[in-house]
Amino acid sequence: MILSGGKKHHVSASRRQANSRMRLSMAPMIDVVFLLLVFFLVASNFRSREGFLPVELPQQVVHSEIIELEPLILHLESQPDGTCLVQIGKTDSFVIQPQELGQDFSPLAQRFAAVLDQQGRSRDDPVKIVPSRQTKWDHVVKAYDALWQLDLHNIIFTIVE
């Protein structure tokens, strides 16, 4: 009886020991998880979600085609004080102030739409953006965006020397 009781005691103790050995050690796992998370957070270079404005560049054979309608020319010239001097066609030029630059080129869009109506041009007619050599890229893109929002998609960029 004593022997058998001793065997039972021994078996239950080994089971307990086996059960205790089978426990999943969570501490190192959590350590590794947090280390990896910190590593990726530090090593990652997050970038804001960017949009795009579609542009159709002319093909190289375009110079041989006959352009039927003279494009409406939009002159852009950035000034040292941050303003942008704008001239639509042969109309009087006007200045877009920096606070307006921070918002959008809506004054340009309004005036451009008025000139289009005045000259009886349609939205499919060509428009040529003529920046100066020192015009900021920011101003060029904002002007393009203003025209794009007017449903003007036939827009050409000029080459400056």
Partner 1 sequence: MKKRHFISRFHSEAQFNMTAMIDVVFLLIIFFMLICQFIGQENYRLLIPDNCAGAIIPNQADDGKITVSVFPTFSDRPKSSTGEVDFSELSVRYAIRSHIFDPFSEIYVNQPDRLLTDMARQITLQSRRRSNPLVYLRADRDLSYYQVQQALLALAEAGVTRLELAAFRSAQSDDGENRNYLRGQQ
The footprint of partner 1 (CB under 8 A) covers 21, 24-25, 28-29, 32-33, 36-37, 40, 44-45, 47-60, 78, 80-82, 102-104, 131-138, 140-142, 144-146, 148-149, 157, 159-160
Question: Roughly what angle, to the nearest 10 degrees, separates helices 106-119 and 137-149?
Answer: 50
Q: How far is the CB of 30 from partner 1 (least distance, A)?
A: 9
Q: How far is the CB of 134 from partner 1 (least distance, A)?
A: 5
Within a 13 Å sphere around the CA of 130, how many CA atoms are in the beta-carbon half? 14
Q: How far is the CB of 98 from partner 1 (least distance, A)?
A: 8
Closest to partner 1 by CB, 83 vs 91, is 83
Q: What are the tokens at 108?
A: 């340009």
Of 74, 147, 154, residue with least CA distance to 113? 147
Closest to partner 1 by CB, 1 vs 57, is 57
Beta-sheet pairing, 84-88 with 94-96: antiparallel
